[in-house]
Structure 1
Amino acid sequence: MLEEFQSCSKGRAMTQMHQKQKQEKMNSQDEKEKRRQERLAQQLRQNLKRRKEQSRKRAQTEP
């Protein structure tokens, strides 16, 4: 009976550990995706700023 309980609690601990690892992996992937989104947003802002500046310069030089 005690042996049965110990093996059951071991299995539960393993499952909890596995779930924790899965959760950590998900969190890691979420963080990675968040950083990717932030990087893309930053690139878009820089491109927009650059294009706006180019357009402004072009407008100044054209008659």
Structure 2
Amino acid sequence: DAYRSLARAEAVYDVRQEITNKVNEKILISLVNIDQPTSFEPITEESNITNLILVSNIILSIGK
């Protein structure tokens, strides 16, 4: 009976691998070295993004 559970475990593993591969294709993941100092320059100029739909989507995505 143990051989049946082994086949099931292999099937579950295969499906998980397939899901992981599909997710990895859709969501690109990169590593960032947080120990490395980062310098940011302040934004002093006026934004040239004038598309109201784009602005609304940005505001919705950042939760403001």
What range is the shorter-chain TM-score in? 0.3 to 0.5
What TM-score do the two structures reach when normalised by structure 2? Answer: 0.42
Ranked by relative contact order (alpha carbons within 8 Å, sequence separation 6 or more), the top structure is 2
Which has the higher Rg, Structure 1 or Structure 2? Answer: 1
Which is richer in helix?
1
